[in-house]
Chains A and B, each alone.
Chain A
């Protein structure tokens, strides 16, 4: 990239993505009733950063929108605006607006101007006019007193609590009560802002001088400066580079503490600074920032564990899930470098319970979901945890690395095989060789896993987007919907996430449009007028399992069947089981919406969703209970780079069939195979006639064969639910194979999805089951009546 500005813009957009994500996390937490001023601060900072960046690039549309947004947030911060559900919703709309404006700047579709305007006006409306300030509204003596009181207590609990109350919180409270303090001063309370400033050695080592800082404090107004020289040692112990002085500056109470912070902004690290009020004992117990961070992080890890327990009591049905979740998260946490810090054993327990009570005044039984939600939110929102160091790497480099490592794994297995063949490793003299090979194997496996992990990313960002989708869909449908997400930290291959976004978007829209009922209907049914869509991700035995659960009306089976018959998907009078009817939703060209709505029903049905998920090597299923809701379950491979396959032999060639498509394998007797017309054969399996497909013939490896005697049949199922029996010569093995694209150097081959390299270094082709079984394809797949019927029904 030659244009430096373009590069900066790119960085800005990347940052915007991160900031928007953070903003959304914070706002959602606030919406769910988590009362934490740091969340507000964090959200404010995100909007502010976007505004700043956009300003630098002259993107005035973003700046304008961010400005009104920021103003409103600032009022919330100051306490002049009460954060309610309506305001939260407005904030989220504002965030969506910002997102679309940013996207528009980044070459995306133009933002919806009307919506932006509406949001900006709405912000203007809620933003209180300056002169309407009523100091009594923001009077917060209780919280102040509590904070100050805690600081003097020397016990562990207080320390931890102070830690949980981020310095920013205290600051915010000061800002909030600024006017109140001014009022109090008039009444002669004699409060003063006390700044205690003690430079460290490093302060002077970096060429700083204390005097200019004191002078700057003077410039803020009347200041009384006291020097504490009590720490100056005797002349013999005096170090020429040591810092021994401490100044106490009493300032006019009208001075904003943040202004003081700003003065010391660049030397923050090199001095001990405390800003407090004279009437408390704050100045005697300076709040040192560094140690707090340590305690805070410990607390956070503990908090998650605690949270698991909370989930247990609140939502018994979720016990296993919640516990598993918090455990994995705690484990993941433990692996992060930033929390490998000294851990005072006695602190966290007390802290966890104390703060849990403090930070969440909302009764737990009213808000079970936010409780589950909390660890993630806390983790993301707290600056105390510090950002993880990140390196941005071009994806192609990672892919190259993955490719090479896959090769290493293959050559490792080739080497082991060769050595094993040559020497009898059981012999004593070869023990060193054998153990060396074992070590080599273990290392290559570990290397492979680590490299694969580079491509993985948490599903959080995708889930965030779904929140936006659900909100806009709900707005259009005039329904009340809440999207609850779970397992955002679950890591999935980047490509999987990218390709999953669209089908998932469609599913969320579908759930809002078709799943959740209208408000009146919900009230009628005695449900919460606000529908809940639960989106969760989890790792289960080497797979990623995503579930989309709504608490809506469930699949309306009679209506679905009626529609299916009407559209000719199912013959009239067909008797289908409930499960079969549910499957009809995935049938091509099916749409239950009576009228085509703006939200779903754009001619894209669940069949597209299913196809997309199948193409990712995953599966989708649904279960539904009338009146209670529908659960869609998607299971996906962790990465697209490997595939579980069955290695088979056909006409002398070795090919791989994706295991996900294989239902079973069988060796039929001669009398189980039936002729249909010219050359067509099918096999009788448990009451169904399944067409036989000779893979050797389909791939052009051999001429049609007379008899399938002695052949192995693989019962496979394609994406449309059609069943086929693949006739192959032999089954060799079942293993994980590394997928190699054919596209780059050759192009698409009909019936072949990709290639892989087997242990002997030979390439084996991976079959594309859908392609092979396509009706009327050039491959001449014989389709029997049974197959068509089955396919139609979609079982």
Chain B
């Protein structure tokens, strides 16, 4: 959903903010189905390293993406404190492995700033906007870009 659409459709967007490593990120609450604790995943052969495997979500096979690894911070060492944000995009369900969920916030489209033009092309692909809040930066994650190629094809 582009900024323009956000503006015209609704002024306020609710987002779920969470932590990966020490940084804060957020996703649109409308694409989040549930939040659950970490359970060991079954490895998928020939999958990129940030795809941690699949877990059983009440009978559905849920692929888990290690967001930290996806963003290039290296593999997360998951423990029971880690959480999985179950997100849905175009009918496709997947889990994001993050460190902790911190907040639910209401933002307006005015809060959304374009991602600063930093050197890393990759970062700009995954982070579509940034939000300033209490002198902290919250990164708005583009879920579509997060999915590995193979999964994006499915969606």
Q: Could you list 19 examples of A-B contacts with CB < 8 Å?
A: A406-B59, A653-B42, A699-B46, A701-B45, A740-B61, A742-B61, A746-B54, A746-B150, A749-B45, A751-B45, A752-B45, A757-B56, A762-B56, A763-B41, A763-B53, A763-B56, A763-B61, A765-B42, A765-B44
The distance in angstroms between the C-alpha atoms of A17 and B153, with both chains bound, is 37
B1 close to chain A: CB less than 8 A:
no
- Which of B39, B60, B94 has the most chain A CB atoms closer than 10 A to its own CB? B60
B151 close to chain A: CB less than 8 A:
yes
Whether A755 contacts B54 by the Cβ 8 Å rule is: yes
B37 close to chain A: CB less than 8 A:
no
Whether A747 contacts B150 by the Cβ 8 Å rule is: yes
Residues of B within 8 A of A (CB): 39-47, 53-56, 58-63, 91-94, 150-151, 153-154
Interchain CB contact (< 8 A) of B59 among A404, A701, A764: A404
A261 close to chain B: CB less than 8 A:
no
The distance in angstroms between the C-alpha atoms of A654 and B53, with both chains bound, is 13
Q: A742-B61, A745-B93 are in contact. Are A700 and B54 (CB under 8 A)?
A: no
Identify the closest chain B residue to A778 (Cβ). B46
Whether B45 contacts A750 by the Cβ 8 Å rule is: yes
Interchain CB contact (< 8 A) of A749 among B41, B47, B59, B62: B47
Whether B153 contacts A747 by the Cβ 8 Å rule is: yes
Whether A750 contacts B46 by the Cβ 8 Å rule is: yes
A149 close to chain B: CB less than 8 A:
no
Interchain CB contact (< 8 A) of B63 among A407, A746, A750: A746
A 736-767 contacts with B by CB, 8 A: 740-752, 755, 757, 761-765
Identify the closest chain B residue to A402 (Cβ). B59
A49 close to chain B: CB less than 8 A:
no
Identify the closest chain B residue to A760 (Cβ). B56
A530 close to chain B: CB less than 8 A:
no
Whether A745 contacts B92 by the Cβ 8 Å rule is: yes
Whether A740 contacts B60 by the Cβ 8 Å rule is: yes
Identify the closest chain B residue to A652 (Cβ). B43
Query: A-B contact count, CB below 8 Å?
Result: 84
A501 close to chain B: CB less than 8 A:
no
Top 7 closest A-B pairs, CB basis? A699-B45, A407-B59, A763-B42, A747-B154, A747-B150, A746-B63, A700-B45
Whether A744 contacts B42 by the Cβ 8 Å rule is: no
User: Which residues of chain B are near A407, meaning CB under 8 Å?
Assistant: 58-59
Whether B54 contacts A742 by the Cβ 8 Å rule is: yes
Within the complex, what minimum Cβ distance (angstroms) separates B33 from chain A?
Answer: 12
| Number of A residues with CB within 8 Å of any CB on chain B | 31
The distance in angstroms between the C-alpha atoms of A755 and B61, with both chains bound, is 8
Interchain CB contact (< 8 A) of A746 among B40, B91, B154: B154
- Which of B42, B61, B94 has the most chain A CB atoms closer than 10 A to its own CB? B61
Whether B61 contacts A746 by the Cβ 8 Å rule is: yes
A403 close to chain B: CB less than 8 A:
yes
The distance in angstroms between the C-alpha atoms of A742 and B55, with both chains bound, is 11
- Which of A406, A744, A763, A764 has the most chain B CB atoms closer than 10 A to its own CB? A763
Within the complex, what minimum Cβ distance (angstroms) separates A448 from chain B?
Answer: 13
A 680-710 contacts with B by CB, 8 A: 698-701
User: Which residues of chain A are near B93, meaning CB under 8 Å?
Assistant: 744-745
Within the complex, what minimum Cβ distance (angstroms) separates B55 from chain A?
Answer: 6
Identify the closest chain B residue to A746 (Cβ). B63
User: Which residues of chain A are near B150, meaning CB under 8 Å?
Assistant: 746-748
The distance in angstroms between the C-alpha atoms of A403 and B58, with both chains bound, is 9
User: Which residues of chain B are near A765, meaning CB under 8 Å?
Assistant: 42, 44-45
Identify the closest chain A residue to B91 (Cβ). A744
User: Which residues of chain A are near B46, meaning CB under 8 Å?
Assistant: 699-700, 749-751
The distance in angstroms between the C-alpha atoms of A469 and B153, with both chains bound, is 38
A 393-435 contacts with B by CB, 8 A: 403-404, 406-407, 410
Q: A701-B43, A762-B40 are in contact. Are A745 and B63 (CB under 8 A)?
A: yes
Identify the closest chain A residue to B149 (Cβ). A747
The distance in angstroms between the C-alpha atoms of A631 and B20, with both chains bound, is 64
Within the complex, what minimum Cβ distance (angstroms) separates A451 from chain B?
Answer: 13
The distance in angstroms between the C-alpha atoms of A751 and B96, with both chains bound, is 25
Q: A740-B61, A755-B61, A763-B61 are in contact. Are A746 and B56 (CB under 8 A)?
A: no
Identify the closest chain B residue to A406 (Cβ). B59
Whether B60 contacts A764 by the Cβ 8 Å rule is: no
Identify the closest chain B residue to A698 (Cβ). B45
Whether A761 contacts B45 by the Cβ 8 Å rule is: no
Q: A699-B45, A749-B44 are in contact. Are A763 and B154 (CB under 8 A)?
A: no
The distance in angstroms between the C-alpha atoms of A740 and B42, with both chains bound, is 14
User: Which residues of chain B are near A406, meaning CB under 8 Å?
Assistant: 59
Within the complex, what minimum Cβ distance (angstroms) separates A356 from chain B?
Answer: 52
The distance in angstroms between the C-alpha atoms of A584 and B131, with both chains bound, is 67
Identify the closest chain A residue to B60 (Cβ). A745
Within the complex, what minimum Cβ distance (angstroms) separates B66 from chain A?
Answer: 15
Whether B44 contacts A764 by the Cβ 8 Å rule is: no
The distance in angstroms between the C-alpha atoms of A406 and B91, with both chains bound, is 22
User: Which residues of chain B are near A750, meaning CB under 8 Å?
Assistant: 45-46
Identify the closest chain A residue to B39 (Cβ). A761
Identify the closest chain A residue to B63 (Cβ). A746
A 42-69 contacts with B by CB, 8 A: none
User: Which residues of chain A are near B41, meaning CB under 8 Å?
Assistant: 763
